[in-house]
Amino acid sequence: MISATIGTAGTGGAPGSIDEFEYSKDGGTTWLPYMPGDVITTTDYLLANVKIKSIRRHPAGLGCYSENIYTWNIDSRVHDITGTQGSYYHIQQAIDAANTVDGDVLEIEAGTMALPSVVNINKEITLRGQGIASTIIDISSSWFTNPSVNAFTLNDVNITIEDIYFRIVGKGQGNILGLFQSNCTVQDNKFTGEYVYGDGEVTRAAVWSANNMTGLLFTNNIIESLRQPGYLSNGSGTISNNTITTTRGWVIEGIGAMSLQEIPLVQIRRILLFWMLQPTSVVLRSATMIFQAL
């Protein structure tokens, strides 16, 4: 949102001349009356700029006419492409918007976005990038320093996270995603950090809460240089077709009916080492034998 006030009142012109103001959201094609101090919303879909025109004139058209136009360029990076469309600067702003409702798709533009703080996803939405080579979200170790903190918390059912590159910058600590509800999908993403074997920091692509979740899908993701791909405390669903390098392997504390597909052998070893609760049903398929010193 923006608002404008009068800096210096207009002067000159025929006696009785007045100041008037108008604003435009379509590049100056359409002008609407504006009262200084009023708020103009700037979350219209793909809004490029807002213009405010200051006019000095005589009501009867006497004397001279003068005007100045001031332009505010709008920078938006997250777009609601469904329902009541809108454009926003921050991810949390887009989620919290009144017009963002269950079933909406929020698309993040291509480019690198620095995440300023944690994000709470509390609506049934899809958060989608333009592909892992294009949409990058940097999570800075300047604030991401607590192993129990989730950069993104999935706090509703039917949430999808896809086509985004999540990158921890520096020796941060925490979980990139925290899964807390059923029927959530995490697919076609990339998760990286700066973990190397022997480091003490704890970083994970995802943690699965102790809630009795079902219908979870974690598939076709790339995970590199994080301490663990994930820490599973509960839940049922499928983990499949993920490419994982330079991690210490999955930690399974307790799960329900879970299908673990294409898990490298070194990770299966870690699963067995960290198994605390016997799962109801776990299927290991197509294990590839990739050995790596821990």
CA distance 99 to 107: 15
Domain count, the chain: 2
- Report yes or no on 291 lying in a domain: no
CA distance 82 to 99: 10
* Exposure string for 115-154, b = 16+ CB within 10 A, e = fewer: beebbebebbbbbbbeebeebbbebebeebeeeeebbbbb
Residue where a domain stops, chosen among 15, 44, 73? 73
- Report yes or no on 294 lying in a domain: no
Q: Which residue has the tokens 């949409």?
A: 135
Give pLDDT tens digits along the chain (294 positions): 888 887 777 777 778 888 889 999 999 999 999 998 899 999 999 999 999 999 888 888 887 788 889 999 999 999 999 989 999 999 999 999 999 999 999 999 999 999 999 999 999 999 999 999 999 999 999 999 999 999 999 999 999 999 999 999 999 999 999 999 999 999 999 999 999 988 889 999 999 987 889 999 999 999 999 999 999 888 888 899 999 999 998 888 766 666 666 444 344 434 433 433 334 333 333 232 232 333
Same domain, 16 and 119: no
The β-bridge partners of 232 are 208, 252
Same domain, 47 and 100: no
The β-bridge partners of 275 are none
In this prediction the pTM is 0.83
Same domain, 175 and 275: yes
162: containing domain: 78-285
Provide the Cα torsion 193, 198, 200, 205; round to 10°: 30
Same domain, 42 and 134: no
**Closest Cα partner for 253 from 228, 280, 234?**
234
Same domain, 88 and 66: no
Same domain, 120 and 244: yes
- Report yes or no on 66 lying in a domain: yes
Same domain, 51 and 153: no
- Report yes or no on 292 lying in a domain: no
Instruction: Give me 197's structure tokens.
Output: 């074997």
**Predicted pLDDT at 102:** 97
Same domain, 115 and 35: no
Same domain, 82 and 198: yes
**Predicted pLDDT at 234:** 82
The CATH number of whichever domain residue 37 belongs to comes to 2.60.40
Residue where a domain stops, chosen among 45, 73, 101? 73
Same domain, 64 and 148: no
- Report yes or no on 228 lying in a domain: yes
CA distance 257 to 218: 14
**For residue 199, what is the enclosing H or E element?**
none
Same domain, 213 and 266: yes
CA distance 168 to 115: 10
**Predicted pLDDT at 147:** 92
Whether the Cβ atoms of residue 178 and residue 150 lie closer than 8 Å to each other: yes
Same domain, 85 and 149: yes
Residue where a domain stops, chosen among 73, 99, 128? 73
- Report yes or no on 293 lying in a domain: no
Whether the Cβ atoms of residue 259 and residue 285 lie closer than 8 Å to each other: yes
